[in-house]
Amino acid sequence: MRSKWYESEELERLARELLGIHKRRSKAPLRLPLQADLVAESVGVDILWDEIPEEPGKTVLAEVRPDERLIVVNENRRAALDDTFGLYNTTVAHELGHWWLHVDHAALDHEELPGYIRSAAPPRRPDGRDRRDERNAGEFMGYLLMPRATMLWKSKNLDLRNWPGFYRLRDAFGVTTTAMKIRLEQLGLAYIDANGQFHRSRREAEGQGFLF
């Protein structure tokens, strides 16, 4: 497993690259919501539901098993993954980020690799490697499922000053509420504070303090 700090521009480029590969191999236009499991399968990564042991007090929704070319989704967390809108899709996309960014694909058949990479509440090493990898995979997930151009196009005729407009956009992309909040802020389309109030930006919310 490789560990590297990726800049946002590089993560976005790599997500576009993966979507391009998926589009070519599936021989079909990309449609919303983008389904992370189908993207994974198009690059040779299968999805498997199985029980994943968890340490006390920690939740693991899924993990990558590089040597088996699998993203394993935790059967013990099926209820949460089924009941929380977009959670399965964002979870698989996050794991796919680990696969695309952190696994040395060329070495899979040539050397022994770790059995898996945990994606939820991983141990923190002194060099910050795991924290860095989690940030990379999470940001990659956002770029993969919510591409910039598509987000700007879909949001153009939506009122993002309120929850109805927000939920229409979230549902169109098939992601969690949290993932959509983060992506909207990244794109400068809206910022939603801890009280659920909508602002043009975080700066406006923390500084000027007025709403739309």
Q: Indicate whether 64 and 78 sit together in one domain.
A: yes
Q: What is the mean pLDDT of the chain?
A: 88
Two tokens at 185?
């802020």
Q: Indicate whether 28 and 56 sit together in one domain.
A: yes
Q: Indicate whether 45 and 132 sit together in one domain.
A: yes
- H-type helices in 103-201, by residue range? 129-145, 148-155, 163-173, 177-186
Going by pLDDT thresholds of 50, 70 and 90, the confidence category of residue 117 is very low
The whole domain housing 112 covers: 1-145
Percentage of the chain lying above the pLDDT 90 cut: 75
Residue 161, classed as helix, strand or coil, is: coil
Q: Indicate whether 100 and 64 sit together in one domain.
A: yes
- Are 11 and 102 contacting, i.e. CB atoms less than 8 angstroms apart? no
For the chain, what is the domain count?
Answer: 2
Two tokens at 192?
């939603």
Residue 115 confidence (pLDDT): 43
Q: Indicate whether 5 and 82 sit together in one domain.
A: yes
Q: Indicate whether 141 and 157 sit together in one domain.
A: no
Q: Indicate whether 159 and 130 sit together in one domain.
A: no
> pTM of the predicted model, to two decimals?
0.87
Whether 212 shows a pLDDT value over 70: the answer reads: no
Tell which of 115, 145, 175 closes a domain: 145
Q: Indicate whether 12 and 77 sit together in one domain.
A: yes
Tell which of 116, 145, 174 closes a domain: 145
97 closest CA partner among 58, 42, 134, 53: 134
Q: Indicate whether 25 and 130 sit together in one domain.
A: yes
pLDDT tens readout for residues 152-169: 999 999 999 999 999 999
Q: Indicate whether 35 and 137 sit together in one domain.
A: yes
